[in-house]
Structure 1
Amino acid sequence: SSNRNPENRDSTPRATPGETNFTPRHPPTSKNAIIMEKVLVTGANGFIASHIVKDLLASEKKYAVRGTVRDPTNARKTAFLKALPGAAERLELVALDLLKSGPEGFEAAVAGCTYVLHTASPYPLSSPKTEDELVRPAVEGTLSVLRACAATPSVKRVVVTSSCAAIAYGHRGPIGAEKYNEDTWSEDANMGLDEAYMKSKTMAEKAAWAFMKEEKRGFALTAVNPAGVFGPSVSPNPGTSLEIIEGILTRKIPMIPSVSIGVVDVRDVALTHVKAMTCPEAAGKRIVNSGEELTFADIAETLRDAFGPMGYSPTSLYMPYALVWIGSFFSTDVMLLWRTWGRPFNVDGSNVTKILGIEYRDARQALIESAHALVDHGIVAKTEGYVPASSKAKPEAAGAAAGAEAEKKQD
């Protein structure tokens, strides 16, 4: 075999009888198939998750991506994912329901994956009638994913999308005492029905860390804890994520409450998941995503400055405290406003930069891009004076507004 012509790439060496250590020069699988790691993203058509899918497909590492959705055949909910660059070759969508799928459904979804990014979680449009509506699906969904990962030897890292809701709520100390970070947990024992969403995120994340402690697992866990997530939407259906922006821009929120939130760009949150997936220092850690702290008044002012000249008239009336105090006796939604009234949202998000090297995008720009997304996707009506964020936004907006048919044509 020493006289083979090295220039002749087609001359595949053949084994001779009795040769036991023979390795073919051209393995039966292509080089890409060997190095292509598979990533599972649950709830792949969600606001954050769709940005994660986009980033994974665009990555130089050429990941194969498996996304779970409730119904992969629903073009309105999935066509935009299939239209992403790289999706035709490397994106697979499978059906999975956090509550209805059994263990075999979760194991089939996780099978063959190196990384699992669990973003799916119920989010309420209004306060639930019982805690169980949110807490049980959040906890059970997270544990179902982790059990499937524990049964799958290929899994190296699981990243769970938690929330600052698992950090900054249920604390009943004096106003001004707030200073929270990854070591802080929301006090779920103090939470009422108005904080059921916060309780669901807290209990789900606690359950995840408890699962990791029960016995030695073959994978590491990272939790990502974003504050208020804003910015452009890959999906034509951003769901509940941008309802604050929609409410102020259209005056569906008639008065501005004295409430603060941490603002983070959805692209930073997506990048945090993707980097945390492979970063050794992120293993076993919680990582807060919270950029700038803004009040609802700051949000309204930002939208007025950017969209007032285009003919929009964002909410400008301020909510009196007396109204909130009285309303808190009758409505769980108003009760939550009352609990957070005047409190700073003081959550330290610096570990994103320290551990992952991510510099936060501008918070107010994220708010402006949220509003553009709502108009471009047809959720908020266009005024005659509306100017898209860029000329590039026009065809994207047209495709989204035209619905699934237009998106199918792009596919």
Structure 2
Amino acid sequence: MPETVLVTGGTGFVAGWCIVELLQRGYRVRTTVRSSAKQTAVRLAVAQAHEFDDKLSFAIADLTRDEGWDAAMVGIDYVLHVASPLGNNTPRQAETLIAPAREGTLRVLRAATRAGVKRVVMTSAAAAARPPHRTDDVSDEAVWTDPADRTFDAYRLSKILAERAAWDFMASHGGTTEFTTILPGAVFGPVLSKDNLGSVQIIDRLLQGRPPGLPRLGFWIVDVRDLADLHIRAMTAPPAAGQRFLAAGDFMWMQDVAQTLRSKLGAKAAQVPTRRMPDVVFKMMALVIPQLRMFTPELGRKLNLSTAKARQLLGFAPRSAQATIVACAESLLVN
């Protein structure tokens, strides 16, 4: 009989592709949604990449409430805890993101360990392994980000604190359940739905000509399909138990992303900006747009990041960032 995997937050971008990859590999999948009304959206999204079958089921559970999580874990072999609350990342929203992320993760882990699932794989963020700004240290899995660093937005801070809380909980209460975390960079790739786009909004805005100039910002990019594959590898590979894994492919500056879109998509990318935005202009904008402030220390900075661990232990082999960007844009243009 196929094993059953619980994927939290089935309406999400990463969760959707985890569901697709699991179904394609023959697993049974149960995914959590906050209300039964969300089930149709998940089914329609999954159907974009996988012929729908009876191996997908649903559980009603919310990260902010205890109800539903024990029932969701009945008969579950593995858990991919992908869900995390989203917001507008303003300072006033910090605690409204942090508390649900941290407490929601603990709700998932309590239920999973009570049920005795084999392993939980949690989606964290590469920001959780970032060395201090004023160093040239390499970002790898041995690095633990200081949550007191004020350059982080509310979303990234919520991921950092949730992962720390998860490891602390599992150290004392894990029992027979194993635990692994995946720390992705900027996640792009084809969308199954235009809901909950996350970082894909960057590509969507570029296609609409926003911003009018390109700031000196760059990203370590991972394709959502490669990220889903890595979650499944981490779920089953014996060496992955008790480990953290950074997930990223190539680094690209915003200007390189824009150039790739214009060269590969032609007229479809006619609105993609070409001009550079001077640093001083970006900093002036950040004075009036709070969401931009966290990016000002990143102007012109390329973080040294290593994914050697995921490549060596799990066979992680991400596709090129250019291919990922183009696939992302093409899917946005047709959805």
TM-score, scaled to structure 2: 0.94
Which letter does structure 1 place at the counterpart of 2:108?
A: V
CA distance in 2, matches of 1:318, 1:185: 33
CA distance in 1, matches of 2:36, 2:191: 20
SS at match of 1:198: helix
**C-alpha deviation, 1:135, in angstroms:** 0.7
Question: For residue 272 of structure 1, what is the aligned residue in structure 2?
Answer: 230
CA distance in 2, matches of 1:49, 1:365: 21
- C-alpha contact 1:179 1:348 (8 A) present in aligned 2: yes
Q: Figure out how many residues of one structure are paired with residues of the other and give that number.
A: 334
Question: For residue 139 of structure 2, what is the aligned residue in structure 1?
Answer: 180
Identity %: 34
Within 5 Å, give how 1:5-404 maps onto structure 2.
Answer: 35-59=1-25, 62-74=26-38, 77-81=41-45, 83=47, 85=50, 87-99=52-64, 101-102=65-66, 104-153=67-116, 155-168=117-130, 171-174=132-135, 177-191=136-150, 195-310=153-268, 312-377=270-335
Q: Which structure has the greater CA radius of gyration?
A: 1
- C-alpha contact 2:89 2:154 (8 A) present in aligned 1: no
CA distance in 2, matches of 1:340, 1:196: 16
SS at match of 1:89: coil
**C-alpha deviation, 1:183, in angstroms:** 0.8
- C-alpha contact 2:128 2:159 (8 A) present in aligned 1: yes
Change (3 A) 1:334 1:75: same
Higher helix share: 2
- C-alpha contact 1:256 1:317 (8 A) present in aligned 2: yes
Change (3 A) 1:140 1:255: same
List runs of 5+ in structure 2 lacking aligned partners.
none
SS at match of 1:326: helix
TM-score, scaled to structure 1: 0.77
- C-alpha contact 1:223 1:286 (8 A) present in aligned 2: yes
SS at match of 2:144: coil
SS at match of 2:122: strand
CA offsets, 1:351-389, max 9 Å, x none?
Answer: 222111121111111000110111110xxxxxxxxxxxx
**C-alpha deviation, 1:241, in angstroms:** 3.1
SS at match of 2:92: coil
CA distance in 2, matches of 1:371, 1:326: 29
CA offsets, 1:76-102, max 9 Å, x none?
Answer: 622315636464321101221111x32
Query: Relative CO higher for 1 or 2, CA cutoff 8 Å, sep ≥ 6?
Result: 2
- C-alpha contact 2:213 2:275 (8 A) present in aligned 1: yes
CA distance in 2, matches of 1:72, 1:346: 43
Which letter does structure 2 place at the counterpart of 1:321?
A: D
Which letter does structure 2 place at the counterpart of 1:95?
A: I
- C-alpha contact 1:41 1:119 (8 A) present in aligned 2: yes
List runs of 5+ in structure 1 lacking aligned partners.
1-34, 378-411
CA offsets, 1:14-58, max 9 Å, x none?
Answer: xxxxxxxxxxxxxxxxxxxxx321110001121111111111111
SS at match of 1:134: helix
